[in-house]
Amino acid sequence: MNWGKGIIIVLIIFIGFISVLAFLMMRSTDDNFDKDYYEKGLAYTDEYNQRQQVIDDHAQPHLILATNELIIQFKGAESGIITIKRPSNSNLDQQIHFIGKKVLVPLNDLKKGDWLVVMKWKNKSKNYWFEKEIFLP
């Protein structure tokens, strides 16, 4: 065998390797990609103002992780939405609508691991937004 055949064989193997990697990359899931990035980009100013309102009014909610439930106590809240997000799998996300200052979230349906709790609420015509990462053992 001469050098020409060896180089051609190495090139064919390399092209095959790159093709397999490209095929596997196309089949991978994109759970970490936010599908609503454009709409969220347009609404970022509102989100920033709502997060700043929590800091300005010292309205940070208090989260208590009990054995079977997550207790969330607000300093002042008329109504709102709590979204519990699983960073690794968006199919496990949950949304809870609430009224009042205290919310009990059952943890029976949630898997162990990292979760992001996003709280949006309204109190006296002011909107608030707060996020907290929690770990369920």
Tens of pLDDT, residue by residue, the chain (137 residues): 688 898 999 999 999 999 999 999 888 776 666 777 788 788 888 889 999 999 999 999 999 988 888 999 998 888 999 999 998 888 889 999 999 899 998 888 888 889 999 999 999 889 999 999 999 88
Pair (20, 87) in one structural domain: no
Please give the order of strands across the beta sheet that includes 126-136. 94-99, 79-85, 113-123, 126-136
| 105 C-beta neighbours (distance < 10 Å), count | 19
Please tell me whether the overall predicted TM-score, pTM, comes out greater than 0.85 for this model: no
Q: What is the pLDDT of residue 1?
A: 66
Pair (16, 56) in one structural domain: no
Pair (119, 77) in one structural domain: yes
The two tokens of residue 46 are 């509102």
Q: Pick from 115, 106, 117, 53: which is nearest to 82 by CA? A: 117
Pair (14, 71) in one structural domain: no
Pair (16, 68) in one structural domain: no
Q: d(Cα 46, Cα 19) in Å, to the nearest integer?
A: 44
- Give residue-wise pLDDT tens across range 53-87: 999 999 999 999 888 889 999 988 889 999 999 98
Pair (41, 23) in one structural domain: no
Q: What is the pLDDT of residue 55?
A: 94
Range of the domain at 11: 1-29
Q: Which residues pair with 117 in a beta bridge?
A: 84, 132
